[in-house]
Amino acid sequence: MRVRVKICCIQDEAELDAAIAAGADCVGFVGRGLSGPEVIDDDDRIGQLASRCPPGVDPWLLTREADPEALVAQVRRARVATVQLCDRVPPAAWAALRQHHPAVRIVQVVHVGGPEAEAEARAVAPHVDAVLLDSGAPAGDAPVYGGTGRTHDWAVSARVVRAVPCPVWLAGGLRASNVADAIAAVGPFGVDLCSGVRSGGRLDPEAALAFVRATGAG
């Protein structure tokens, strides 16, 4: 089965069209509460962009909202097919999404700082539709939830793939020059990137196309 490709940090219609033209299976919109120039603070604006996705292209909302009621409301306004939870959430958040948005897929991010990520992924996997392994550092005074451009230990990611029953996405420092090696080392269901296809703060259509081709999907 071919590896799925998600191009993240989509800011507007032009970037969305470029990602779709490159062959992305999924596109990610960075919601309020996260950081970086790609953040879209208006949930309704994300909904407008998500509605432009053709059949076969899955719009994702990235959020670090953990309050169940607020999370349900945010997903309702964004009108996406998948919600990516970029930080740890209480079990009540997963339950609320299941109750109020049963058709929306839940992807829980696990940040791989060391071997302990395997145990965290095992714990969350029964509650979600997929796990996404990234290189953020959510703890500390200056938390980072993604878009680092840094890889992590792919050996840990490979163990997670073998350990959990749900699909696993791989993110963190991926680009056209290393994604084939990452896929070979980890065996993920899908790969996800932001900074690896951006230049001067904008999505580079040629870089996006090169990345998709490098995964074997193009």
Convert the pLDDT of each residue in 151-164 to its tens digit: 889 999 999 999 99
Q: Nearest 5°: phi and psi at 137?
A: -140, 85
> How far is the C-alpha of 44 from the C-alpha of 78, rounded, in Å?
6
218 pLDDT exceeds 60? Answer: no
> pLDDT grade, residue 93 (50/70/90)?
very high
CATH number of the structural domain 4-214: 3.20.20.70
For the chain, the structural domain boundaries read: 4-214
Residue 169 bridge partners (DSSP): 132, 190
- Who's near 200: CB < 8 A, 6+ residues apart? none
pLDDT tens per residue, range 35-49 = 777 899 999 999 999
The answer to whether residue 168 scores a pLDDT higher than 90 is yes
Three-state DSSP class for residue 35: coil
The DSSP-derived string for 120-170 is HHHHHGGGSSEEEEE--B-SSSS-B-S-------HHHHHHHHHH-SS-EEE
Digit-coded pLDDT (tens) for 115-148: 999 999 999 999 999 999 997 655 655 556 565 6
Rounded distance between C-alpha atoms, residue 157 and residue 56, angstroms: 27
- Asked whether the beta carbons of 43 and 67 are under 8 A apart, the reply is no
Task: Report the pLDDT value the prediction gives residue 137, as an integer from 0 to 100.
Answer: 59
Position 128, amino acid:
V
Cα–Cα distance, 4 to 179 (Å, whole number) = 12
Which segment of 29-38, 57-66, 100-109 scores lowest on mean pLDDT?
Answer: 29-38
Report residue 42 CA to chain centroid gap: 19
Instruction: Please say whether the beta carbons of 3 and 190 come within 8 A.
Output: yes
Structure-block tokens of residue 47? 């909904």
Residue showing tokens 């299941």: 98
Q: Are 40 and 94 in contact (CB under 8 A)?
A: no
